[in-house]
Amino acid sequence: MLIAEISRNALELPLEERLELARRLVESVVQPAPLTDAVKDGIRRIEDVAAGRITGLTEEEYRAAVG
């Protein structure tokens, strides 16, 4: 199978499956370091936003929260 064909097929997967595929591909080429609880929480939050389970802050909301 050619890279272009694999890519095309992968991009047609649902979001959750694309995230799992990306995770597996990265782990296949990078020796994963142990994750701290804070990093695990950050990853989970990013995945929640990417999957649409929660909405992120607008720039205005973010600036109000940190300002």
Structure tokens that stand for 23 in this block: 């995770």
Q: Are residues 2 and 25 in the same domain?
A: yes
| Tokens 């609880």 belong to residue | 37
Q: Are residues 52 and 23 in the same domain?
A: no
pLDDT at 1 (0 to 100): 67
Q: Are residues 38 and 22 in the same domain?
A: no
Q: Are residues 66 and 55 in the same domain?
A: yes
Q: What is the pLDDT along the chain (67 residues), one digit of tens a residue?
A: 699 999 999 999 999 999 999 989 988 998 767 889 999 999 999 899 889 999 888 899 999 999 8
Structural domain of 22: 1-32
| Tokens 């020796």 belong to residue | 31
The DSSP code for 1 is -
Q: Are residues 43 and 19 in the same domain?
A: no
pLDDT at 6 (0 to 100): 94
Q: Are residues 39 and 58 in the same domain?
A: yes
pLDDT at 17 (0 to 100): 95
The DSSP code for 52 is T
